[in-house]
Chain A
Amino acid sequence: MMGNGSMDMSEATDEEIATVRRRQPLLDRQYVRRALPWLVIALFFLMWEVAVRTFAIPEFVLPAPSAIFAAGWEWRAAILDNAWQTLFTTVVGFAIAIVFGVLAGVAVGSSTLVYDSFYPALIGFNSIPKVAIVPILVIWFGIGTVPAVITAFLISFFPILVNVATGIATLEPELRDVLRALGASRRQVIMKVGLPRAMPYFFASLKIAMTVAFIGSIVSETVAANKGIGHLMLVASSRFEVPLAFAALLVTGVMGVGMYVIAGAFERRMTGWSVRGIEGVGLIPQG
C-alpha cells in the first residue's frame, strides 16, 4: 500500500515538474535586470534634484541635475568639441599603452632576468604621481595634445604590463615541462600557451587601463592645455559656471562607461573560455 502510494505520488510530481512552470520573481526577469542600472541612475538624479530644491542650495555650490542638463544643452557645441579632443588623446595614449604594455609584459613575464632587473624600477616609476610629470612634459613638448597623450599612456601602461606579465609568469610548471619535453622553443611556449593564457588578465587590465587613461588625459588638460574636457572644467569653474563644470564631469563619466563597455564586449568575444557561462565580476578601478 505504502509503496504503491508513494509511486503514484512521485509520478504525479514528475509530471508536475515537467508541465508546471514556476513564476519567475520580478527581480530575476531579463528586462527588469536590464532596466535596473538606469533606474538607479535616475533615482540618484531625482534625489539630488529634490535635495537641492528642498535645502535651497545655491547653484555655485551644487547645481541641480536640471541645471546641469540645461547647461550641457546650452554649451553642447563646446562640450562636444572638447570631449572629442579628450576622447582622441585618451584613445591614442591608451593604444600606445597596449602596444608597449603587452610587449613589456611578455618580456617581464617570460624572463626572470628581465623581471628581476626591471621590476623595481617600474614600480618606482609607477608610484610617481603622473600629475607631477605634466609640467616636465610641458617643458619638453609645450602645452596641448602631446602631454595629454603621454600622460594617458604613462598612467595606463602599468596595469597592462603587470597583468600580461602575471598571465605569462603563472604558467603551470607541469605544462611547461610537457612543452619543454616536446622540444618547444621559448617563443613557442609564449605563442602557444603564454599569450592565450594571459588574455583574460589582459582584458581585465584593459578595463582598468581604459578608465585611468581618461584620468591621465584630463589631469594633463587641467594643468596644461587649451582644449579638452579638463580645460573646459577649469575654465567653467574659474568663471563660476558650476553647472557647466558638472556637465563636463557627466560627459567624462559617460565616455568612461562607453569605453568600458567596448572593452567588456571585446573581452567576452576573445576570452569566453575563461568565463564558462558565469558573468564576469567587473573590476572597479580606483584613480
Chain B
Amino acid sequence: MQPKFVEVDRVWLRYGHDNGTLALRSTTLAVERGEFIAVVGPSGCGKSSLMKVVTGLCPVTAGTVKVEGKAVTAPLTCVGMAFQNPTLLPWRSTLANVMLPLEIVRPHSSRLRRNRAAYEAKTRELLALVGLEGFERSFPWQLSGGMQQRTQLCRALIHEPSLLMLDEPFGALDMFTREDLWVSLQDLWMARRPTVILVTHDLREAAFLADRVLVMSARPGRILAERKIDLPRPRTHEMIFSAESAAIVHELRGHIGASRVAA
C-alpha cells in the first residue's frame, strides 16, 4: 500500500507536564496527496493542536506523525499557513508581504535577488487570481479585512508548498466576504493542488470546500466521524444553499451534537 501524504497515528498531546491539559487523545487520520480535508468540531476541541502536531511545531506526547512517509520530529519547512488573524507585516506593502516566504524558503531565497522581476511577476499573477490586482503597493491597514485575508492566503501559497494549513482563516469575516473567499480558495486549490488541512467550526464552509470532512470530539479531541463530500467541482455560490449541501451540513451537525452530549 502506498503511504499517505499525511499520517497521524494514535497521537496524544498533553500541554505542559503530567497534569497539563490533554488536547488530543489517540487521534488518527490520514490525508492523500492533493486532498482537501476539513476538520470541524466544537470550539476548544484541539483542532489547532492537531495543526501544530502535523506541522511539527508542537512535539507529540505519544504516537507518530508522518508526512511524505517521514516521521515529523522538528518543524516542517516549506509549509504554508494562514490563521484567523491576518498577521501581515504592517511595514510591508501587499506585494512585499506576499513575497516574504520567498526570502526564507530555499531555493527561492538564494535566487530572489537575481530573479526579482520574475518572482514579482509571479506574485502579481497570484494576487490577480484572488482579485487583488491594483493593490500591490497598498499597505495592510489600507485593505479591508477580506482583502487582508486574501493577501494572507497568497502569502501561504507563493512558495508553492505541498502542504497548506488553514486555521479558521475566514472566522473573522462577514458572511458575504466569507463566501467569496471560499470560491477564491477553491480556485487557488484547483490551480495548484496542494494538500490542504482546513480547521474550521463553520460546517457550511467545510461542506463547500473539502473533499472529506473529519468531525472532532470535544477536548480531549479525537476523530469521531468522517464524511466524504462528492459534490462536483468547481463548486459554485448556488451550491452553498443546495439541498445536498444542506443535508451534509445537517448530518455533520448531528455528529457534533452527539459529541457535545457525550462530553
Interface of A toward B, CB cutoff 8 Å: 172, 174-175, 177-184, 188, 192-193, 196-197, 199, 271, 273-274, 276
The closest CB in chain A to the CB of B80 belongs to A181
Using known A-B contacts A175-B87, A196-B89, A273-B90, determine if residue A182 contacts B104 with beta carbons closer than 8 Å: yes
The residue that B75 contacts in the complex, of A174, A181, A274, with Cβ under 8 A, is: A181
B81 at the interface (CB under 8 A from A): yes
The CA of A184 and the CA of B100, in the complex, are separated in Å by 11
Q: Given contacts A183-B76, A183-B78, could you give 18 more A-B pairs where the C-beta distance is less than 8 Å?
A: A174-B81, A174-B167, A178-B83, A179-B104, A180-B57, A181-B57, A181-B79, A181-B80, A182-B78, A182-B104, A182-B105, A183-B77, A183-B105, A188-B103, A199-B91, A273-B90, A274-B90, A276-B141
The closest CB in chain A to the CB of B103 belongs to A192
16 interchain pairs (CB within 8 A)? A172-B87, A177-B52, A179-B104, A180-B57, A181-B77, A181-B78, A181-B79, A182-B78, A182-B105, A182-B159, A183-B75, A183-B76, A183-B78, A188-B104, A192-B104, A197-B89
Docked complex: B53-112 residues within 8 A CB-CB of A: 55, 57, 75-83, 85, 87, 89-91, 100-101, 103-106
CB distance from B188 to the nearest CB of A (A): 17
The CA of A196 and the CA of B87, in the complex, are separated in Å by 14
Using known A-B contacts A177-B57, A178-B81, A179-B104, determine if residue A193 contacts B89 with beta carbons closer than 8 Å: yes
B165 at the interface (CB under 8 A from A): yes
Inside 8 A of B89's CB, which chain A residues have their CB? 193, 196-197
B139 at the interface (CB under 8 A from A): yes
- Count how many chain B residues have C-beta atoms less than 8 Å from C-beta atoms of the other chain: 30
The CA of A127 and the CA of B220, in the complex, are separated in Å by 47
Inside 8 A of A179's CB, which chain B residues have their CB? 104
CB distance from A176 to the nearest CB of B (A): 9
The contact string, 1 if C-beta is below 8 Å from chain A, for chain B 144-175, is 00000000000110010000010100000000
The CA of A177 and the CA of B139, in the complex, are separated in Å by 22
Using known A-B contacts A174-B83, A273-B139, A276-B141, determine if residue A182 contacts B90 with beta carbons closer than 8 Å: no
CB distance from B6 to the nearest CB of A (A): 14
| B76 & A181 in contact (Cβ 8 Å cutoff) | yes
CB distance from A208 to the nearest CB of B (A): 22
Inside 8 A of B52's CB, which chain A residues have their CB? 177
CB distance from B111 to the nearest CB of A (A): 16
Inside 8 A of B159's CB, which chain A residues have their CB? 182
| A181 & B81 in contact (Cβ 8 Å cutoff) | yes
The CA of A199 and the CA of B91, in the complex, are separated in Å by 10
The CA of A188 and the CA of B55, in the complex, are separated in Å by 19
